[in-house]
Amino acid sequence: MGAFRKVMFLIIFFISSNNSYCQVLDGVINLSDSLYYEGDVSGAKSILLNAIKNGNTGDFIYHRLGMIYVDFVQPDSALHYLLLTRKVTSNDSLKFAIHLDIGQARYLNRELDKAIIELNPLLDDDNYRFAALTILLGVYSDMRDFVKAVPVARELVSTNPTFYPAIVNVGYMYLDYGKPDSAIFYFGKALVYAPDDPIILNNLGNAYFKSGNSNIGLSYINKSLMIDSTNSYAYRNRGLIYLDEKENSLACDDFTKAIELGYVEVYGDDIINWKKEACK
């Protein structure tokens, strides 16, 4: 579910960064946000860390830094700054945003029960319900509680049928549920709105592979890698197809490449045994 978490951050950052409290951010926050939206996430983080080093602390700086550490998939650091935000803030406008972001960080840190506790208060708020449900979909999927996950997925799609990051996450849920044909439907639906998105293409390929259509799956993953050759998850998925087709040398190369690109640090060490099997 690692890619699920990565896509989901797009939703969480957008909602958290576009509420009314942003109107009072100082120059440091505005500069950091500008760098972030230009794609320079490391630069945005450096601005905030330097501000703290120079004594320019405060709830907004801590909050933004925590959100960026979520983006880096470093939940321990994210929780440190988000919990610090909660401790020092007296700003009521941050209350729900902090619940949301701590819920996301708890989810990334595999603290699923604690994530639910953070997110539940948001379900009665129209501004935050959609984002909270997005995280809860991942929580329930990881808990294998599909009785709860499926209605959440349906609500997300019906609430905003053109918002493709949420549609992608529904596809992930159905992959976890062991229903690749349903995953193909939702990934394909998302692809209509973002036809060149390498994450969608990669996961559509993985869904086709799991449905027994390796050739179609391979074509989508290859297209994904042509667009983004740094996606470790795509190399992992292609390696699994090669391994299934007894193309061990090709599988070995892909698993090795995925590890070099940081797959283990972001998604876990499940790839190690596959690499051993392919490279022996």
Give the model confidence (pLDDT) of 208-236 as tens digits: 999 999 999 999 999 999 999 999 999 99
Predicted confidence at residue 16, as pLDDT, reads: 52
Q: What pTM did the predictor assign? A: 0.74
Predicted confidence at residue 47, as pLDDT, reads: 87
Name the strand (E) or helix (H) holding 61: helix 59-71
Q: What's the CA gap between 48 and 168, in Å, rounded? A: 31
Q: Other C-beta atoms within 10 Å of 272: how many?
A: 13
pLDDT in tens, 123-162: 999 989 998 998 998 899 889 899 999 999 899 889 888 8
Q: What's the CA gap between 24 and 207, in Å, rounded? A: 44
- CA torsion angle 190 116 57 6 (round to 10): -30
Tokens linked to 158: 């019906």
Q: What's the CA gap between 138 and 8, in Å, rounded? A: 9
Q: Range with the lowest mean pLDDT among 81-85, 179-183, 190-194, 262-266?
A: 262-266
Q: How far is CA 211 from CA 176, 203, 215, in A?
A: 13, 12, 11
Do residues 196 and 227 lie in contact, with contact meaning Cβ atoms separated by under 8 Å?
yes
pLDDT in tens, 53-82: 888 788 888 988 898 888 777 889 999 999
Q: How confident is the model at residue 6 (pLDDT cuts 50, 70, 90)?
A: very low
Task: Check residues 204 and 22 and name the one with the higher pLDDT.
Answer: 204
Predicted confidence at residue 73, as pLDDT, reads: 75
As a residue count, the chain comes to 280
- CA torsion angle 132 137 142 144 (round to 10): 130
Task: Check residues 101 and 10 and name the one with the higher pLDDT.
Answer: 101
Q: How far is CA 189 from CA 134, 151, 167, 168, in A?
A: 17, 18, 7, 8
Domains in the chain, please, with CATH? 1-140 (1.25.40.10)
Q: Other C-beta atoms within 10 Å of 122: how many?
A: 22
Predicted confidence at residue 106, as pLDDT, reads: 94
Predicted confidence at residue 160, as pLDDT, reads: 86
* Cα angle: 200, vertex 134, 149; to 5 degrees: 95
Residue 11: is its pLDDT beyond 70? no
Predicted confidence at residue 53, as pLDDT, reads: 87
Q: What's the CA gap between 127 and 123, in Å, rounded? A: 9
Outline where 120-270 has alpha helix (H).
129-142, 146-159, 164-176, 180-193, 198-210, 214-227, 232-244, 248-260, 263-267
Predicted confidence at residue 26, as pLDDT, reads: 63
Tokens linked to 243: 């391994």
Q: How confident is the model at residue 5 (pLDDT cuts 50, 70, 90)?
A: very low
Of 140, 179, 177, 135, the residue nearest 11 (C-alpha): 135
Residue 19: is its pLDDT beyond 80? no
pLDDT in tens, 236-278: 999 999 999 999 999 999 999 999 999 998 788 999 999 999 9
Q: How confident is the model at residue 23 (pLDDT cuts 50, 70, 90)?
A: very low
Predicted confidence at residue 87, as pLDDT, reads: 92
Name the strand (E) or helix (H) holding 15: helix 2-16
Q: What's the CA gap between 236 and 42, in Å, rounded? A: 25
pLDDT in tens, 29-40: 788 878 887 878
Q: How confident is the model at residue 51 (pLDDT cuts 50, 70, 90)?
A: confident
Question: Cβ contacts of residue 66 below 8 Å, gap of 6+?
Answer: 77, 78, 79, 80, 81, 82, 84, 85, 101, 105
Residue 48 DSSP class: H
Q: How confident is the model at residue 3 (pLDDT cuts 50, 70, 90)?
A: very low
Residue 205: is its pLDDT beyond 90? yes
